[in-house]
């Protein structure tokens, strides 16, 4: 988990201080220096098809990609967790209504939702965030709902009910603290997948629009010139997405071990 935290913190700091650490303007195109290899003419990681510095675009792209993934993951975790809490402690009619609605959301292809949102709002960050939230809420709700149902039968809940505690008091004072750990773990692990998903939408032209630097957009633009032998414009952002996504998954695994000592002992 320590390595994952170092990787994530490193990319977050690079994104925050992008104006200070990026060696070049990420959108500055120079046709005279196209397709430079790593280290050539002062460009540490080379340049892309428009002569833009790849390192600078990776740094600025991290700011965009991480903000989108973190915002969307946090929003979907909060909404999905709230739905799961209400469904888990409501009667069969309310719980059935919520969970059947979640099943319907599962049935919609995410790419279709993204395309519809792109038509309504126009391609951009809003489409990426809303698409990720829509796709993630069903998974979060299902996972947390199962845990809430498990907690509902515990003795501490029955004790609170026997003492006359109300619905919301039991929900937020008794149950929520006991499912918060798993919610945080799942939400953290979700970020890695959301980075990959947001990059995919940008690569398809639905997400972040040029000239804004974005890892998915960089992969898409670089892939067009791989056949000519220029692999760096696509390979480098692809590796960055892979490393950051894995780091968030490792962090989620570490938090799971931290919050769930039984799982940690079972893994030994």
CA distance 21 to 2: 24
Q: Is residue 254 part of a domain?
A: yes
**Residue 265 — very low, low, confident or very high, per pLDDT cuts 50/70/90?**
very low
Q: Is residue 32 part of a domain?
A: no
pLDDT for residue 266: 43
Digit-coded pLDDT (tens) for 34-66: 888 888 888 889 888 888 999 999 999 888 888
36 DSSP assignment: P
Report the phi/psi class of residue 169: left, alpha or beta, with left for phi > 0 and alpha for psi in -120 to 50: alpha
Q: Taking Cα atoms as reference points, which of 45, 40, 67 lies closest to residue 56?
A: 45
Domain, as residue range, for 109: 2-17+49-259
**Residue 263 — very low, low, confident or very high, per pLDDT cuts 50/70/90?**
very low
Averaged confidence pLDDT in the chain? 82
40 DSSP assignment: G
Digit-coded pLDDT (tens) for 184-236: 878 887 887 788 787 778 777 777 777 788 888 888 888 877 777 778 888 88
53 DSSP assignment: B
Measured CA distances, 19 to 46, 62, 105 (Å): 19, 12, 40
Radius of gyration of the chain, Cα coordinates, nearest whole angstrom: 22
Q: Is residue 58 part of a domain?
A: yes
pTM of the model: 0.79
Per the structure, how many domains does the chain have? 1
Q: Are 210 and 192 in contact (CB under 8 A)?
A: no
Q: Is residue 267 part of a domain?
A: no
Q: Taking Cα atoms as reference points, which of 8, 43, 11 lies closest to residue 26?
A: 43
Q: Is residue 110 part of a domain?
A: yes
CATH number of the domain where residue 11 is located: 1.10.3720.10
pLDDT for residue 201: 80
């Amino acid at each position: 988990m320590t390595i994952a935290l170092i990787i994530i913190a490193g990319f977050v700091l690079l994104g925050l201080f992008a104006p200070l650490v990026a060696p070049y303007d990420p959108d500055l195109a120079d046709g005279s220096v196209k397709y430079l290899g790593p280290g050539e003419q002062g460009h540490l990681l080379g340049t892309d098809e428009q002569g833009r510095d790849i390192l600078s675009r990776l740094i600025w792209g991290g700011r965009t990609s991480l903000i989108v993934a973190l915002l969307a993951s946090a929003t979907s975790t909060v909404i999905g967790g709230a739905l799961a809490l209400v469904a888990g402690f409501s009667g069969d009619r309310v719980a059935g209504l919520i969970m059947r609605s979640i099943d319907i959301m599962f049935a919609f292809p995410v790419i279709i939702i993204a395309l519809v949102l792109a038509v309504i709002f126009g391609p951009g960050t809003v489409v990426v965030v809303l698409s990720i939230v829509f796709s993630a809420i069903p998974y979060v709700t299902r996972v947390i709902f199962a845990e809430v149902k498990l907690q509902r039968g515990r003795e501490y809940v029955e004790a609170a009910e026997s003492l006359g505690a109300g619905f919301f008091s039991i929900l937020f004072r008794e149950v929520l603290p006991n499912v918060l750990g798993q919610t945080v773990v799942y939400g953290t692990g979700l970020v890695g997948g959301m980075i990959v998903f947001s990059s995919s939408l940008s690569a398809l032209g639905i997400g972040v629009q040029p000239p804004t630097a974005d890892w998915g957009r960089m992969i898409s633009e670089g892939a067009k010139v791989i056949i000519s032998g220029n692999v760096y414009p696509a390979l480098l952002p692809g590796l960055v997405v892979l490393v950051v996504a894995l780091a968030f998954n490792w962090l989620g695994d570490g938090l799971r071990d931290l919050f769930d000592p039984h799982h940690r002992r079972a893994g030994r």
